[in-house]
Amino acid sequence: MKQVVDLQSSQEFEDLGVVLLSISPDSLSDWREQAQSFGIQTPVLSDGGNRVAAMYGVMQWQMASGEPGHTFVLVDTKGIVVWLRDYGAPEHGGLMYVPPGALLDELGPVLQQSR
């Protein structure tokens, strides 16, 4: 949750002009409760059964529990995935928290190319 809180409060991230959505297989009521307790203002979506996660191919990094990993997907205005990274995957550093600055460093050039 700290990841979402830090990204939603980052002026630099906001300046990118992207919409941050948090998607989890958790029930909507569980998500809502967590969002309220952490002060999350961005939309939180429930993906029961991981159908959306599977459509975007992020289940390749699923955790031992069968849940999706900590994956970021950048989708352009046409619905095309222009960047995807699961930082929790060993080949991407095994991180479950990415400092907003590090994420901005990666997203900036991708956004420049896709505009």
Quote the pLDDT of residue 59: 75
Quote the pLDDT of residue 9: 92
CA distance 1 to 5: 6
Domains of the chain by range and CATH? Answer: 2-114 (3.40.30.10)
pLDDT tens per residue across span 83-109: 998 888 888 777 888 899 999 999 989
Phi and psi (nearest 5°) for 51? -65, -45
Quote the pLDDT of residue 60: 79
Phi and psi (nearest 5°) for 59? -70, -10
pLDDT of 80 higher than 80? yes
Q: Which of the four pLDDT bands, split at 50, 70 and 90, describes residue 112? A: confident
Quote the pLDDT of residue 37: 93
The tally of CA atoms less than 13 A away on the side-chain side of residue 37 is 8
pLDDT tens per residue across span 7-28: 999 999 999 989 998 888 889 8
CA distance 65 to 77: 33
Nearest in space to 81 (alpha carbons), one of 48, 49, 110, 50? 110
